[in-house]
Chains A and B, each alone.
Chain A
């Protein structure tokens, strides 16, 4: 089974994190290939519901979606694809100095995916850009908690 790392980014940090997650998964087991996909390039009628999706999404402006997530989100709202069976894990990125809207971008995507029948697995990961830890370090710790899920998914035929 595939693992897909789907990212939505504005400043590039979510893409950076997505690439680091992909490298780390290759380190779990070098036979697993985790595809890194920009939400902008993901057709909403062609989501592989059998694949485990790791979703990495930042927040922009006043708690809004980042630029690369907007067409994807609009497509999901418009087409309402049935995502029953899709399992995804969520890693949200934000800046806690914006108290009211912290990490809200990922929550928008999360609510939409859940609303279309998908199931979130694992811990909801979060990175705070105002904290001292690098986004990738926090994401890799989060990924450790999903190691078994990733390995089990990848071993399914």
Chain B
């Protein structure tokens, strides 16, 4: 029997557990998360009005409820338990912690408080415990730097009427606070030419028909035949020319610096022909990807093969392995490759087995863990206490999450025994 610790219960970690369960049916698998709740970016990164995408967790529920994979929430590897303790107790370690931090523009002025990472905003809107109590008022005139799906999500989240969020699990108070009196002008500015913009067409098509929003486009070549250009033209042509709120999509502008004066910003850009663009705004939002945080567990190469270390056997999967590219299904493809590599190494005898796994961890670590039935208690509470018109209202206070989870342990008696 091989014991496996997967660090991170987002899609990369859960898909890896799923494939490992198939490849190594006898493995005792524990999936750790630093938060008391599972599913990482599915819960805290996928937009709250994309419940269909979040439904992927139904696959993962089964892993924990029927297939003997242990969830150990509220255990931060590196803090609550050391990597040495994990390495001493598990035969295989898979790092699936993703990429925490907003990627920096690396230009002067971006350290000003009115320059705000998209990840930070998305976590707030999604009720992330680390954002609880955080207050940001964005203002009426905004610059959004980035041309990917996170920028696309933010356009929708900032401009869609609140009553169109039916059956989402958006944090309404946060969304109201962010929007304030409403966004009047949003300049969405990307470095690439339009044809190379990274938006998925489907994300832009969701913006069609937003009431009260007019789309303008700058940097378009009228004969641009690319699919994305076609979708952008449709977006422009179908919007209401009289609308109060204007979104300007600009392409081919590289950010140079951000000047700030108290509560307002002036963002400067340059085009490949040397021409310059200056845009004033109440805040600048950056949505140019994600990067490793300074607290990452195994510093070293940023991307590369799945193996971090042969002995002890440490692997990596998902964004932690590949960088911040690709959607949930691409992490599934990645997870399959990593699970195949692990299973091959185990079968070839390259992994030293015999470590005890979960039962070998110190008692204070095991006691602090929220198991899957604890998460189910949180889940049931959030669904039962959903605000009117919402699918779920998330609990954002860590202590309350822990209380909800532990109430279940007392009420439910024995914990579910999941180790095989």
Asked if B200 is an interface residue, CB under 8 A from chain A, the answer is yes
Min CB distance B234 to A, Å, is: 12
- Chain A 128-141 near chain B by CB (<8 Å), digits 1 or 0: 11101011100000
Residues of B within 8 A of A132 (CB): 391
Min CB distance B87 to A, Å, is: 30
Apart from A95-B52, A100-B205, list 14 A-B contacts with CB within 8 A: A11-B328, A13-B55, A16-B59, A16-B62, A61-B201, A62-B200, A67-B329, A97-B50, A97-B52, A128-B52, A129-B51, A129-B52, A129-B55, A132-B391
Which one of B15, B49, B329 contacts A60 once the chains associate, using CB atoms below 8 Å?
B329
Compute how far the CA of A100 lies from the CA of B206 in the bound complex, rounded to whole angstroms: 10
Q: Beyond A60-B329, A130-B51, is A12–B15 a contact (Cβ under 8 Å)?
A: yes
Residues of A within 8 A of B51 (CB): 97, 129-130
What are 8 A-to-B residue pairs whose CB atoms are below 8 Å? A12-B56, A60-B329, A61-B202, A67-B333, A98-B202, A98-B206, A130-B51, A130-B167
Size bracket of the B interface: 20 to 34
Asked if A10 is an interface residue, CB under 8 A from chain B, the answer is yes
Asked if B114 is an interface residue, CB under 8 A from chain A, the answer is no
Q: Beyond A97-B50, A129-B52, is A11–B202 a contact (Cβ under 8 Å)?
A: no
Min CB distance A117 to B, Å, is: 32
Residues of A within 8 A of B55 (CB): 13, 129-130, 134-135
| Residues of chain B at the chain A interface (Cβ within 8 Å) | 15, 18, 49-53, 55-56, 58-59, 62, 167, 200-202, 205-206, 328-329, 332-333, 391
Q: Beyond A12-B56, A13-B55, A129-B53, is A61–B200 a contact (Cβ under 8 Å)?
A: yes
Min CB distance B204 to A, Å, is: 10
Q: Are A135 and B329 in contact, with the CB atoms below 8 A?
A: no
Compute how far the CA of A59 lies from the CA of B339 in the bound complex, rounded to whole angstroms: 25
Compute how far the CA of A97 lies from the CA of B50 in the bound complex, rounded to whole angstroms: 8
Min CB distance B145 to A, Å, is: 25
Compute how far the CA of A69 lies from the CA of B167 in the bound complex, rounded to whole angstroms: 30
Residues of A within 8 A of B56 (CB): 11-13
Q: Are B329 and A10 in contact, with the CB atoms below 8 A?
A: yes
Compute how far the CA of A26 lies from the CA of B37 in the bound complex, rounded to whole angstroms: 35
Residues of B within 8 A of A130 (CB): 51-52, 55, 167
Min CB distance B301 to A, Å, is: 28
Of residues 104 through 157 on chain A, the ones whose CB sits less than 8 Å from some CB of chain B are: 128-130, 132, 134-136
Compute how far the CA of A3 lies from the CA of B332 in the bound complex, rounded to whole angstroms: 28
- Chain A 3-29 near chain B by CB (<8 Å), digits 1 or 0: 000000011110010000000000000
CB-nearest residue of chain B to A102: B52
Compute how far the CA of A135 lies from the CA of B333 in the bound complex, rounded to whole angstroms: 21
Compute how far the CA of A143 lies from the CA of B35 in the bound complex, rounded to whole angstroms: 39
Residues of B within 8 A of A16 (CB): 58-59, 62
Of residues 52 through 101 on chain A, the ones whose CB sits less than 8 Å from some CB of chain B are: 60-62, 66-67, 95-98, 100-101
Compute how far the CA of A98 lies from the CA of B53 in the bound complex, rounded to whole angstroms: 11
Compute how far the CA of A134 lies from the CA of B51 in the bound complex, rounded to whole angstroms: 12
Min CB distance B312 to A, Å, is: 29
Residues of B within 8 A of A128 (CB): 52
Q: Are A13 and B58 in contact, with the CB atoms below 8 A?
A: yes
Residue picked from B200, B202, B332, most chain A C-beta under 10 Å: B202
Compute how far the CA of A157 lies from the CA of B315 in the bound complex, rounded to whole angstroms: 50
CB-nearest residue of chain A to B14: A12
Compute how far the CA of A135 lies from the CA of B206 in the bound complex, rounded to whole angstroms: 24
Residues of B within 8 A of A101 (CB): 202
Compute how far the CA of A10 lies from the CA of B205 in the bound complex, rounded to whole angstroms: 21
Compute how far the CA of A96 lies from the CA of B202 in the bound complex, rounded to whole angstroms: 13
CB-nearest residue of chain B to A128: B52
CB-nearest residue of chain A to B335: A12
CB-nearest residue of chain B to A16: B59
Residues of A within 8 A of B167 (CB): 130
